[in-house]
Amino acid sequence: MSGTGGPADVCAVVLAAGEGTRLRPLTARVPKALCPVGNVALLDRALARLTGLGLSGPARVAVNACYLADQVVAHVGDRAHLSVEPGDPLGTAGGVANLRDWIAGRPVLVGNADAYLADPATPPGPDVAALLDGWDGESVRLLGQPAADPSAPGTFAGHCFTGFSLLPWRLVRDLPVVFSDLVRAVWRPAEAAGALEVVPYPGTFYDTGTPADYLAANLHAASGDVLVDPAATVTGRCVESVVGAGARVEGDVRRSVVWPGALVRSGERLHDVIRFGDGGTVHAAAHG
């Protein structure tokens, strides 16, 4: 299979069921997939990336949901097929298994909603397309970047996973609908069988799972400038920050994220934080 469009019958699953516990209290009322990066929900960034590959609509793209599922369902609407998991999230492998009838024999491109990938030169980037280009239809492919310690646990062929993988139907077909993760259920067995390939990703990646990485992704999206939603009000001072819709900034904000509807009062000085609501603050020194 060749060309950047990939096989015509491929489908995509965006995993958006997790609780995002490391980001609390940010995720106490908003699922991680809907947290904004550069004033765009992470889930919307994932869906846009897939649309750039020709994958869109409920016949080609599915989104799973569990934690605060009603918000995810309302946000997605008719843009994708929705799989709502009852009870606790099923994990990355269990979530894919729960979509077996929808996948229905197709290879599946699986992406984490919380993965922030950016290649400004060629949006949505050659990265995910490279997973499909030249694929033999049988092996497992992961998108990855060289790890600082190539032998560290959690690495694959010396690479860290960067949010997207490509799975053949033969490995999806028999996955049980129980809590399980793709690492142990699919990737490591494929690696042991010599059937796993890491496709290098040259761009910027953050998993946004921690406050520091979430802040870093936002600052990257702002490109070192100030990114202010047109519906925000800024009467104070902003430097290298992101300000969401309906937010009010009356104080000083530097290298920070001000969530939609949040307030920074006059006299407040915020640096390397995420502000939410009326005074809620998460401290998060960014990388770089």
Question: Residue range 131-157: average pLDDT?
Answer: 91
Of the candidates 160, 177, 206, which is a domain's last residue?
206
**132, two tokens:** 């499909």
Domain that holds residue 128: 11-206
C-alpha to C-alpha distance for 102 and 221, rounded to whole angstroms: 34
Residue 151: per-residue pLDDT: 84
Domain count, the chain: 2
Bridge partners of residue 249, in order along the sequence:
234, 264
Spatial neighbors of 60 by CB under 8 A, at least 6 apart, are 11, 12
Alpha carbon distances (Å) from 5 to 24, 52, 126, 172? 38, 9, 10, 22
Q: What is the rounded average pLDDT for all residues in the chain?
A: 92
Percent of the chain with pLDDT over 70: 93
- Going by the DSSP 8-state scheme, the letter that residue 69 receives in this structure is H
What average pLDDT score do residues 166-194 get? 96
Residue 94 lies in a domain: yes
Instruction: Indicate the residue among 178, 206, 234 that finishes a domain.
Output: 206
Query: The pTM is what?
Result: 0.92
Of these ranges, 21-25, 53-57, 256-260, the one predicted with the greatest mean pLDDT is: 256-260
pLDDT in tens, 32-44: 999 999 999 999 9
- How far, in Å, CA of 239 to CA of 265, rounded? 16
Q: Regarding predicted confidence, which is higher, 153 or 3? A: 153
User: How far is Cα 161 from Cα 147, in angstroms, rounded to an integer?
Assistant: 9
182 and 71 share one domain: yes
Q: How large is the average pLDDT for residues 20-34? A: 93
Whether 149 has a pLDDT exceeding 80, the answer reads yes
In whole angstroms, give the CA distance from residue 79 to residue 7.
21
Q: Are residues 101 and 236 in the same domain?
A: no
CATH number (domain holding residue 18)? 3.90.550.10
On whether residue 2 sits in a domain, the answer given is no
Any domain includes 250: yes
| pLDDT tens sequence across 167-180 | 999 999 999 999 99
Measured between its terminal Cα atoms, the distance across the chain in Å is 39
Do 200 and 215 fall within a single domain? no
Quote the pLDDT of residue 120: 59
pLDDT over threshold 90, residue 265: yes
Who has greater pLDDT, 213 or 124?
213
| pLDDT at residue 1, rounded to an integer | 39
What confidence category does residue 276 fall into, taking pLDDT thresholds of 50, 70 and 90? very high
Residues 42 and 134 in one domain: yes
Question: Is the per-residue pLDDT at 160 higher than 50?
Answer: yes
